[in-house]
A = this chain, B = another copy of it.
Amino acid sequence: MAEITNVKSPRVKAVRRLTKRAFRDRDRAFLAEGPQAIREALRTPGVTVELYATTEAEARHPDIVAAARDAGVPVHRTSGEVMAELTQTVTPQGLVAVCRFVHVPLEEAVRPGARLVAVLAHVRDPGNAGTVLRTADAAGADAVVFTDASVDPYNGKCVRASAGSLFHLPVSINARFPETVRQAREAGLRILAADASGARTLDEVDLSRPTAWVFGNEAWGLPPELLELADEVVRVPIYGRAESLNLATAAAVCLYASARAQRRSLHPVEDPSTSLG
Protein backbone atom coordinates (compact mmCIF):
# COMPACT_ATOMS: atom_id res chain seq x y z
CA MET A 1 0.00 0.00 0.00
CA ALA A 2 1.39 3.38 -1.02
CA GLU A 3 1.94 5.80 1.83
CA ILE A 4 0.52 9.33 1.58
CA THR A 5 3.43 11.63 2.29
CA ASN A 6 2.51 14.89 0.57
CA VAL A 7 0.93 17.24 3.11
CA LYS A 8 -0.15 19.51 0.27
CA SER A 9 -2.05 16.89 -1.72
CA PRO A 10 -5.70 17.71 -2.46
CA ARG A 11 -6.83 14.68 -0.45
CA VAL A 12 -4.93 15.75 2.68
CA LYS A 13 -6.24 19.30 2.30
CA ALA A 14 -9.82 18.05 1.92
CA VAL A 15 -9.60 16.03 5.11
CA ARG A 16 -7.77 18.77 7.00
CA ARG A 17 -10.60 21.19 6.16
CA LEU A 18 -12.99 19.09 8.27
CA THR A 19 -11.37 20.58 11.35
CA LYS A 20 -13.44 23.69 10.47
CA ARG A 21 -17.19 23.78 11.10
CA ALA A 22 -18.14 25.40 7.79
CA PHE A 23 -16.51 22.58 5.83
CA ARG A 24 -18.01 19.93 8.11
CA ASP A 25 -21.47 21.36 7.52
CA ARG A 26 -20.86 21.50 3.76
CA ASP A 27 -19.60 17.89 3.54
CA ARG A 28 -21.86 16.59 6.34
CA ALA A 29 -18.76 14.82 7.65
CA PHE A 30 -16.37 15.12 10.60
CA LEU A 31 -13.15 13.65 11.98
CA ALA A 32 -12.87 11.06 14.74
CA GLU A 33 -9.39 10.70 16.24
CA GLY A 34 -7.81 7.94 18.26
CA PRO A 35 -8.58 4.23 18.71
CA GLN A 36 -11.51 4.50 21.14
CA ALA A 37 -13.65 6.84 19.02
CA ILE A 38 -12.80 5.03 15.78
CA ARG A 39 -13.67 1.61 17.20
CA GLU A 40 -17.09 2.95 18.16
CA ALA A 41 -17.56 4.62 14.76
CA LEU A 42 -16.77 1.35 12.96
CA ARG A 43 -19.37 -0.47 15.09
CA THR A 44 -22.06 1.80 13.63
CA PRO A 45 -22.76 0.66 10.05
CA GLY A 46 -22.39 3.27 7.33
CA VAL A 47 -20.74 5.93 9.49
CA THR A 48 -17.04 5.60 8.67
CA VAL A 49 -16.11 6.89 5.20
CA GLU A 50 -12.35 6.30 5.29
CA LEU A 51 -9.53 5.70 7.72
CA TYR A 52 -6.05 7.27 7.81
CA ALA A 53 -3.39 5.43 9.79
CA THR A 54 0.36 5.60 10.28
CA THR A 55 2.38 2.37 9.94
CA GLU A 56 2.94 2.38 13.72
CA ALA A 57 -0.78 2.77 14.47
CA GLU A 58 -1.64 -0.04 12.02
CA ALA A 59 0.77 -2.32 13.89
CA ARG A 60 -0.56 -1.24 17.29
CA HIS A 61 -4.26 -1.58 16.40
CA PRO A 62 -4.63 -4.47 13.94
CA ASP A 63 -8.24 -4.98 15.15
CA ILE A 64 -9.23 -1.52 13.94
CA VAL A 65 -7.64 -1.92 10.53
CA ALA A 66 -9.29 -5.34 10.17
CA ALA A 67 -12.69 -3.96 11.22
CA ALA A 68 -12.34 -1.18 8.65
CA ARG A 69 -11.48 -3.62 5.85
CA ASP A 70 -14.35 -5.93 6.87
CA ALA A 71 -16.70 -2.96 6.63
CA GLY A 72 -15.34 -1.98 3.22
CA VAL A 73 -13.86 1.23 4.60
CA PRO A 74 -10.76 2.33 2.61
CA VAL A 75 -7.62 2.47 4.77
CA HIS A 76 -4.94 5.00 3.75
CA ARG A 77 -1.45 4.63 5.13
CA THR A 78 -0.02 8.07 5.93
CA SER A 79 3.32 9.46 7.02
CA GLY A 80 3.68 10.94 10.51
CA GLU A 81 3.90 14.38 8.97
CA VAL A 82 0.60 13.98 7.14
CA MET A 83 -1.01 12.58 10.30
CA ALA A 84 0.15 15.65 12.23
CA GLU A 85 -1.58 17.76 9.58
CA LEU A 86 -4.86 15.86 9.95
CA THR A 87 -5.08 15.79 13.75
CA GLN A 88 -5.62 18.50 16.29
CA THR A 89 -4.07 16.81 19.32
CA VAL A 90 -0.60 17.59 20.56
CA THR A 91 0.27 13.90 20.73
CA PRO A 92 -1.66 12.31 17.84
CA GLN A 93 -2.36 8.61 18.16
CA GLY A 94 -1.83 7.88 14.48
CA LEU A 95 -5.46 7.23 13.53
CA VAL A 96 -8.06 9.54 12.00
CA ALA A 97 -11.39 8.52 10.49
CA VAL A 98 -13.64 10.60 8.26
CA CYS A 99 -17.18 9.95 9.48
CA ARG A 100 -20.64 10.88 8.21
CA PHE A 101 -22.82 13.06 10.42
CA VAL A 102 -24.70 10.88 12.92
CA HIS A 103 -27.27 13.29 14.39
CA VAL A 104 -30.99 12.71 14.00
CA PRO A 105 -33.97 15.10 13.87
CA LEU A 106 -35.23 16.34 17.25
CA GLU A 107 -38.50 14.40 17.01
CA GLU A 108 -36.57 11.20 16.39
CA ALA A 109 -34.21 11.76 19.35
CA VAL A 110 -36.83 12.80 21.89
CA ARG A 111 -39.73 10.36 21.63
CA PRO A 112 -42.57 9.21 23.85
CA GLY A 113 -41.26 6.57 26.23
CA ALA A 114 -37.95 8.35 26.82
CA ARG A 115 -37.10 8.54 30.53
CA LEU A 116 -33.90 10.60 30.60
CA VAL A 117 -32.71 13.26 28.15
CA ALA A 118 -29.87 15.80 28.46
CA VAL A 119 -30.27 19.20 26.79
CA LEU A 120 -27.14 21.34 26.33
CA ALA A 121 -28.16 25.00 26.04
CA HIS A 122 -25.40 27.59 25.70
CA VAL A 123 -22.66 25.07 26.54
CA ARG A 124 -19.66 26.54 24.75
CA ASP A 125 -16.63 24.51 25.78
CA PRO A 126 -16.28 21.45 23.51
CA GLY A 127 -14.48 19.45 26.22
CA ASN A 128 -17.35 20.03 28.65
CA ALA A 129 -19.96 19.21 26.02
CA GLY A 130 -18.22 15.95 25.12
CA THR A 131 -17.89 15.01 28.80
CA VAL A 132 -21.62 15.61 29.39
CA LEU A 133 -22.42 13.48 26.33
CA ARG A 134 -20.24 10.66 27.70
CA THR A 135 -21.85 10.97 31.15
CA ALA A 136 -25.38 10.99 29.68
CA ASP A 137 -24.51 7.79 27.80
CA ALA A 138 -23.12 6.20 30.97
CA ALA A 139 -26.25 7.20 32.91
CA GLY A 140 -28.37 5.45 30.28
CA ALA A 141 -29.92 8.59 28.81
CA ASP A 142 -32.22 8.09 25.81
CA ALA A 143 -30.90 11.13 23.91
CA VAL A 144 -28.77 14.28 24.05
CA VAL A 145 -29.88 17.55 22.43
CA PHE A 146 -27.41 20.32 21.52
CA THR A 147 -29.39 23.55 21.04
CA ASP A 148 -28.35 26.05 18.38
CA ALA A 149 -26.57 28.19 21.00
CA SER A 150 -24.28 25.34 22.03
CA VAL A 151 -20.95 24.17 20.67
CA ASP A 152 -20.85 21.92 17.60
CA PRO A 153 -20.70 18.28 18.81
CA TYR A 154 -18.56 17.45 15.77
CA ASN A 155 -15.80 19.74 17.04
CA GLY A 156 -12.66 17.60 17.43
CA LYS A 157 -12.33 18.25 21.17
CA CYS A 158 -15.97 17.34 21.76
CA VAL A 159 -15.65 14.11 19.78
CA ARG A 160 -12.54 13.18 21.80
CA ALA A 161 -14.11 14.02 25.19
CA SER A 162 -17.22 12.00 24.31
CA ALA A 163 -14.96 8.91 24.12
CA GLY A 164 -17.19 7.24 21.53
CA SER A 165 -20.53 8.16 23.11
CA LEU A 166 -21.38 10.35 20.11
CA PHE A 167 -21.96 7.04 18.29
CA HIS A 168 -23.93 5.39 21.12
CA LEU A 169 -27.16 7.32 21.57
CA PRO A 170 -29.40 9.60 19.49
CA VAL A 171 -27.94 13.11 19.33
CA SER A 172 -29.85 16.06 17.92
CA ILE A 173 -28.17 19.35 16.98
CA ASN A 174 -29.11 22.94 16.09
CA ALA A 175 -32.46 22.65 17.87
CA ARG A 176 -34.10 25.85 19.05
CA PHE A 177 -34.63 25.79 22.81
CA PRO A 178 -38.41 26.43 22.91
CA GLU A 179 -38.94 23.74 20.27
CA THR A 180 -36.82 21.33 22.33
CA VAL A 181 -38.90 21.99 25.44
CA ARG A 182 -42.15 21.52 23.51
CA GLN A 183 -40.94 18.25 22.01
CA ALA A 184 -39.74 16.94 25.39
CA ARG A 185 -43.02 17.86 27.07
CA GLU A 186 -45.04 16.18 24.33
CA ALA A 187 -42.92 13.08 24.86
CA GLY A 188 -44.03 13.05 28.50
CA LEU A 189 -40.82 14.40 30.03
CA ARG A 190 -40.65 16.92 32.82
CA ILE A 191 -38.19 19.76 32.07
CA LEU A 192 -35.75 20.38 34.94
CA ALA A 193 -33.23 23.20 34.46
CA ALA A 194 -30.04 22.72 36.49
CA ASP A 195 -29.16 26.15 37.83
CA ALA A 196 -27.83 27.64 41.04
CA SER A 197 -30.92 29.89 41.18
CA GLY A 198 -33.24 26.93 41.81
CA ALA A 199 -35.53 27.18 44.85
CA ARG A 200 -35.38 23.43 45.52
CA THR A 201 -32.38 21.09 45.47
CA LEU A 202 -31.98 17.68 43.88
CA ASP A 203 -32.77 16.16 47.28
CA GLU A 204 -36.23 17.76 47.35
CA VAL A 205 -37.46 16.83 43.89
CA ASP A 206 -39.03 13.58 42.71
CA LEU A 207 -36.40 12.30 40.30
CA SER A 208 -38.13 9.02 39.52
CA ARG A 209 -40.30 10.63 36.81
CA PRO A 210 -39.20 10.87 33.15
CA THR A 211 -36.99 13.95 32.98
CA ALA A 212 -35.22 16.19 30.50
CA TRP A 213 -32.32 17.94 32.24
CA VAL A 214 -31.22 21.30 30.83
CA PHE A 215 -27.61 22.42 31.36
CA GLY A 216 -26.44 25.97 30.63
CA ASN A 217 -23.33 27.99 30.10
CA GLU A 218 -20.12 27.20 32.01
CA ALA A 219 -19.78 30.74 33.35
CA TRP A 220 -23.23 32.29 33.52
CA GLY A 221 -25.67 29.38 33.57
CA LEU A 222 -29.03 29.75 31.85
CA PRO A 223 -30.67 33.02 30.75
CA PRO A 224 -33.97 33.93 32.50
CA GLU A 225 -36.06 33.42 29.37
CA LEU A 226 -34.91 29.80 29.17
CA LEU A 227 -35.35 29.19 32.91
CA GLU A 228 -38.98 30.31 32.56
CA LEU A 229 -39.71 27.64 29.99
CA ALA A 230 -38.65 24.83 32.35
CA ASP A 231 -41.12 23.11 34.66
CA GLU A 232 -38.77 23.69 37.56
CA VAL A 233 -35.30 25.11 38.22
CA VAL A 234 -33.35 22.73 40.46
CA ARG A 235 -29.98 23.29 42.07
CA VAL A 236 -27.33 20.79 43.06
CA PRO A 237 -27.00 21.24 46.84
CA ILE A 238 -23.68 22.66 48.01
CA TYR A 239 -22.99 21.09 51.39
CA GLY A 240 -19.55 22.64 51.86
CA ARG A 241 -17.96 26.00 51.11
CA ALA A 242 -17.48 25.74 47.32
CA GLU A 243 -19.38 28.40 45.41
CA SER A 244 -20.46 25.97 42.72
CA LEU A 245 -19.62 22.83 40.79
CA ASN A 246 -18.24 22.92 37.29
CA LEU A 247 -20.69 22.18 34.50
CA ALA A 248 -19.62 18.62 33.73
CA THR A 249 -19.59 17.49 37.38
CA ALA A 250 -22.96 19.16 38.09
CA ALA A 251 -24.42 17.38 35.05
CA ALA A 252 -22.98 14.07 36.28
CA VAL A 253 -24.60 14.50 39.71
CA CYS A 254 -28.01 15.39 38.16
CA LEU A 255 -28.03 12.68 35.50
CA TYR A 256 -26.93 9.94 37.88
CA ALA A 257 -29.34 11.08 40.60
CA SER A 258 -32.17 10.72 38.06
CA ALA A 259 -30.92 7.41 36.69
CA ARG A 260 -30.62 5.91 40.17
CA ALA A 261 -34.02 7.23 41.34
CA GLN A 262 -35.72 5.90 38.21
CA ARG A 263 -34.16 2.49 38.66
CA ARG A 264 -35.09 2.38 42.35
CA SER A 265 -38.69 3.16 41.49
CA LEU A 266 -38.82 0.59 38.67
CA HIS A 267 -37.08 -2.16 40.62
CA PRO A 268 -37.75 -1.45 44.30
CA VAL A 269 -35.21 -3.22 46.47
CA GLU A 270 -34.46 -3.05 50.15
CA ASP A 271 -32.76 0.28 50.90
CA PRO A 272 -29.09 -0.71 51.44
CA SER A 273 -28.82 1.87 54.24
CA THR A 274 -31.22 -0.21 56.33
CA SER A 275 -29.25 -3.45 55.89
CA LEU A 276 -25.82 -4.13 57.30
CA GLY A 277 -24.24 -3.10 53.94
Contacts and interface: CB of A to CB of B under 8 A. Distances in A.
Contacts of A244: 138, 163
Contacts of A248: 248-249
A27 to B, nearest CB: 27
A94 to B, nearest CB: 17
A257 interface: yes
B168 A241 contact: yes
Quick one: copies of this chain in the complex?
Answer: 2
Contact of A239 (B243, B246, B249, B263): B263
A273 B252 contact: no
Given A203-B263, A248-B249, A252-B249, A242 B277 contact: no
A243 B252 CA distance: 15
B272 A137 contact: no
A242 B245 CA distance: 23
Interface string A250-277: 1011001101110111000000110111
Contacts of A275: 206
A205 B275 CA distance: 9
A24 interface: no
Given A164-B243, A248-B249, A256-B253, A138 B206 contact: no
A166 to B, nearest CB: 11
Nearest to A141: B240
Contacts of A249: 131, 134-135, 248-249, 252
Contacts of A242: 134-135, 137-138, 163-165, 168
Interface string A157-169: 0000101110011
A206 B241 contact: no
A135 B264 CA distance: 25
A256 B259 CA distance: 14
A114 interface: no
7 contacts: A137-B241, A138-B244, A140-B240, A164-B242, A202-B260, A236-B256, A250-B252
Interface of A: 36, 131, 134-141, 161, 163-165, 168-169, 202-209, 236-246, 248-250, 252-253, 256-257, 259-261, 263-265, 272-273, 275-277
